[in-house]
Structure 1
């Protein structure tokens, strides 16, 4: 847009002080994630709290240094209240429970200040240092129990980061030696490092909006020359650029034998309207059960399995009752408890649990006294949370199940601490077709925000063009085997073509070289970490498993591929962030363990795929598939 302005009056340049001082006030929109149950050494509530939010005040004294129109610095010393209320939960008494907190800090916030267009608009970002000054909580159960106190294990100092933007609105005369501005601003306080306590998995992030009053003093500006000439001022909104890059494997493995430590979820999921064990779970006769042994499932991948995603793993999981029966039979001192859950119908939940018990007793000959049963209207760890309104059908389908609980170590692998519910895993061998490290990754940073869609043209040395897409997210991927086709190697020109939401064409170029590798002797290892619904910070509870079990198996100069996934329930962007957080947290734990062990040359490929169906390890048709998609998968590839 071109704006024409004609003037005869004398123009005065606005005074520009270098140092500014002032104060600000804002509202903190706090959001909680994670799991909170033990409040202090005297109080552990019966039902864990997960999500929460709150609006609390923020106030600061500020200083800014602006040596020029673009670059400068900021410092805020602030009172920062991160309080709020957790979402209500149901206590075992079938009554509501509420938890709130008045968590607050003295916050020191140094930031870099950039005015990218040499205008009143500016952006800022930098670290934050929070010193705790208040850590009280209030727990109320059914308006009968009211307990107040201080959180235990609160971190005295919290290190994190923020980023934001604002605009300076002058409210004083141009020639005044002292300049005053009102500056509305908004910022985001990341959840990185924002774990208020040294225990549990509670974390928080904050969106802050407010206004600052600033003043600065400098010499008066001289009057500009009088002009009667029209002044044409171009007003052009700059458009962000897409950053395009390609990441390709040094060699493209066609397939790989993988020894997988396959984690077993401790649940049997039931169909709506039926308390009978679903037919998809493998049922044996008494004679077949006598001959069944768990290690039969550890053999190589059979040839007669239908093609399908993770079909080998799902076949193992659908033998869960036979695995439990074999373990109970082999370890006569062990016991289990079966907890059946059916929405608002505990009697049906008890019947579901009794049917599982009957199968184990009649088929595997397990003494009935070793198996207890109970019925509930919700599982101990439900997917559906109080107040949920979206995708209730899928959530409730996942909550209609029988959970298998045991304190016997012969049945469990406590990779998540002593409270881990997951069953001892099964060791299986499978063949991966087009393993993840064989893919060429196209990264178009900013595409999700700026582009309608984008495509990729891959041109070989003979001029043959392959087309892939359209993509709509920041990343796309294609198997290196697909690009090579019948060629053993090749050099390729990569062209990204897109269209911005404003209609502007975008073109970016890169190149890759690919070489096939077909080594039937190469064998990798795979481990997986399972999560309950919407949990991410529980990755910390797997630190011992990742440090003591996984890290020693990583060879020097090897490759570790870590990919995080979620199911299809929930917001897509939130799921992308959740899976990335899970994967990156696992990498940090392994990197720390490798450093302590003195291992060198290990490379990482860490990705968060969110709910992306094309890359999900399982389908999302069955509740057990969705539960298995809540995972971080760790592949260890030996150096070649």
Structure 2
């Protein structure tokens, strides 16, 4: 029997709106600062007549070097606009060295320069995205301040006694005093202060390219320079005051509790007939198959069989949910395998997208391409269609809540077929479900897990973890967890022991790093199956907010499920919903679904003159502690809209 051992109310950080006022500042329009970086200079052309008094024996061609760039800056960003203007004026060095050349006398010659300018660089900038990235471009006006060079001529290595002449330190002749060129660049603004401070600082790494156009330093010869500049700017500005409503920190209630397992007789083996939802859900903004689906390479198809998926379904602590998703995410591989085995079967892939029929057809085409390319299905066996909304839509007219979640479910590719080999028993027509998958598992019931609950943890804390201390002082750690609940098998906690007493610490960490510790004690009893008889499980899926779709499954329940109910047995029927909508309505809906199933099975048994079966019916609504699947993805919500039927022999 479940026993709640701990209920602790802990104050953890949660933001709730109040009427307090806090001063915030808008982003500044004007920025001032300084930019610094390195100029990577590349020389091309011919340099031989250095000045009126010096012409070297051979021409220098290529060279390169790194020079300093440093400049104050000013920027103006237009309000609520991607546009702005920039101005940088400062020191701009184009220094470097030419590649060594050999004179006619077989003497090595070296040339270097400290060529430098005062540069004026106005630019237009545009920030096309919502992040700090921007691009800029504009003219470059440079005024020469240094034109010195150093020239050295070595000796002929064939004459080792020869003495080299002294280095020549002079200035280039015919140097242009003013140069007009251009540049284009990109940068990224990284805020260093928050918008609660009036003076806001920004660090902005940047890179710029200045091509050789217009960058001929001299009026003679044809020496030119191409420069790649890399650096960073540090700038600041003052924002205008804006008043926003402050969120005052009010600590919410988070309920921590422990539920210990029951040691009840149960069936060790479960033979499950698992429904195969015939929808492939597409991510918003994409027409490609989502990465969470299992996609094979062509050379892997020969090794894939539907039976392989059944055998390889995991049986770890995540239980039915992970097994079910492993099967579902192989839906296209299962379909391809079935179509290969049944060469006369055909399908229609119907895409639905609120973006239009063409977008929907593209979604369907991506699935068709996978089946034809990987499984070598003849394209004539697969038709595609595109619709704005599916024939069975989750987004009902007049509904105003949870529209984003419902539209996610309507963005899908539906698999439709009239081929009995692909379909669920006693089903026909384009909306018929695909044939379910059957597998057997050794599974401890969910009631055997030790459940640690932290209701509200997802909203209030960043993570929480557990420390369990045994009577001998040994500590076991579990976590961290980010959801409201963590289930751990009793076997994992107890190891080889049949039961044990533990001191439990639940440690929550808030967003600001605050650690809150609560303590309690727990007794854990290991679950063990009473017998090795096999139980059977069936389940039925529903569309959103639908309790009457059970009519589609009436013949299946009557002719397939009812005859398999053992004599003197118990049928446990649990109805579930997803978390969309009102919790009270979901509770009623889940119970209505479960009772519909019970009524059909009961009627079938009465028609067979059977009165030896007991029924247990529960509606769990959207209770996440009772449902097997999550609610973040559309396929998880689809499998939570279900009725589960367990057949046990008493």
TM-score range, shorter chain: 0.3 to 0.5
TM-score with structure 1 setting the length: 0.48
Which of the pair has more CA radius of gyration? 2
